[in-house]
Amino acid sequence: MIISRYISKEIIINICWVSLVLFGLVLFSRFNIFLSQAEVGKISPDNIFIALLLFTPELINLIFPISVFLATGFVLTPIFKSHSTVLKSGSYGSLQLLLGQKWLIIGVFLISIFLSTFLAPFFTSKADDLIDKDNSVMSKIGTPSGLVPLQPDSFNAFGIRDGDKYRDLIFFVDTQSIDKFVFAETAYIKGENNNISLAFTNGFLYDNERNVISKFNEANIPVKSFSSPEYISTLSLFNNNDMESLKELYTRFSMPIFCLISIIFSLIFSSYSSFFGREKTYFFLAILNIFYLLLTISTSNTSVASSLSLTLGFFWMHFLFLGLSLMLMTKSVKRFFGYEGL
């Protein structure tokens, strides 16, 4: 139908415009974060723009669901408000609206799946690798050029390089504080990649919490690498059987499911603008979708107890809003509101 093609075209155009505006805002915010990190030595200033490019898919994955329901409501609320009589005479109700926008719904769902399960995790891992490289053992010890600003959650060291060894090296054991560190006259790096350790000679360990100073002739401190499920590909997550991988897998699929149900809910709820009015309908549409989005995002903090509780914790809000969407299509709910429209 002509009306279906017109609605699809307008929603797609508005999704692009809203995404562009939101992308500019979040990109500027991320840029300020990188500048703050560069000031304290957590990221090289030369890598800021590269990191921004690598984080772009993750930012788009964040703003895309918001753009979808904002654009849908922005297009449909005035249409149903001004042309409800014409649409009703043509028997263009909620079901016909959903069927007419089936390709738009499928397209939004597939785009969100591609962003959330492939594009965003791949490039975000590359960006994190870039930041970790600027904040790693090799970057802080491999080319020490002076005192490194002491920051929590980062590797901190100070030393003088002398060939393959280091002189007067200070290594802060606890990344959360400066109350525990190792000083050694000489030190060198053993191993490579994920099996790195620091070998110290003629030094001491200072522990301010225990008020202890321990001298040693030789000491070896392993530097453990941290591998997060966030860096693992989606296909690899399917092959893993641990709960953390299952949680990350659910996290990646939660946003596409939100996009699918959110656009269905927005299409149906927008038809109530002929009864509630354009402004009220758009306001409640935005509030409900934002509430739904916050519930979806908060599931990343779901405790990992069992696969059943994890599944229920991740998907209960999707079933809730899907049921709400279907209820809004029924005549009994419309009569409850005193609305006998589309």
The answer, yes or no, to whether residue 188 has pLDDT greater than 90, is: no
pLDDT of res. 108: 92
pLDDT at 22 (0 to 100)? 92
**Using one digit for the tens of pLDDT, what is the confidence trace for 124-179?**
878 776 765 555 444 444 444 444 444 544 455 666 666 667 777 776 665 555 67
**51-75 pLDDT, tens per residue?**
888 888 888 988 999 999 999 988 8
**Residue 222 forms beta bridges with which residues?**
197
> If you average pLDDT over residues 219-230, what whole number do you get?
63
Tokens of 121: 């995790």
Assigned token pair, 47: 């890598």
pLDDT tens figures, 228-265:
666 677 787 777 777 777 888 888 888 899 999 999 99
Residue ranges in 135-232 assigned as alpha helix (H): 137-141
Give mean pLDDT, residues 189-212. 73
Distance of alpha carbon 287 from alpha carbon 285, whole angstroms = 6
**Per-residue pLDDT, 338:** 62
Q: What's the pTM?
A: 0.68
pLDDT at 25: 92
Instruction: Report the range out of 10-19, 92-101, 225-234, 238-247 with the highest average pLDDT.
Output: 10-19
Mean per-residue pLDDT of the chain:
77
* Highest-scoring range by mean pLDDT, 75-84, 101-110, 154-163, 307-316: 101-110
Range 111-127 burial, b when 16+ CB lie within 10 A, else e: bbbebbbebbbebbbeb
pLDDT tops 50 at residue 86 = yes
Q: Is-contact 80 44, C-beta < 8 A?
A: no
CA distance 113 to 252: 8
Mean pLDDT of 207-213: 74
Q: Which position has the token pair 């000083």? A: 183
Phi, psi angles (nearest 5°) of residue 204? -150, 155
Q: What is the pLDDT of residue 110?
A: 94
> Exposed (0-12), middle (13-18) or buried (19+): which is 168, by Cβ within 10 Å?
middle
pLDDT at 37: 74
CB-side exposure of 314: number of CA atoms within 13 Å? Answer: 22
